[in-house]
Amino acid sequence: MTIFTLMGFLATLLGSVAIYLASPNQRWRATSWPAPPARTTGVLLLAVGLISLLQALRPAAGTFVFVHWLMLLFALFPYFGALLASRRNTHS
């Protein structure tokens, strides 16, 4: 695995976290992040992630990996939020 692949995965993860935490329906924190700067940062990180994956892989494969990684992250984030909320309720 090249450095571009790792950088692509990490940048996509951080970008999707920033976008998720800007949502008013997120469950990770008590309040959401300010939407415009968090979403802008998230989109820029997603662009860096896609460009990095395109450097490491062929265009079709890089796009495929990027979209599926992003889809997996956005599908798992609400479950992580539910897990965090249940742990907060049991420890309180």
Residue with tokens 């049991």: 90
Phi-psi sector, 58: left (phi>0), alpha (psi -120 to 50), beta? beta
Q: Which domain holds residue 31?
A: 3-91
Task: Determine the pLDDT at residue 64.
Answer: 97
Least confident range from 13-22, 38-47, 49-58, 81-90: namely: 81-90
pLDDT band for 54, please (50, 70, 90 cuts): very high
pLDDT band for 92, please (50, 70, 90 cuts): low
Total tally of structural domains belonging to the chain: 1
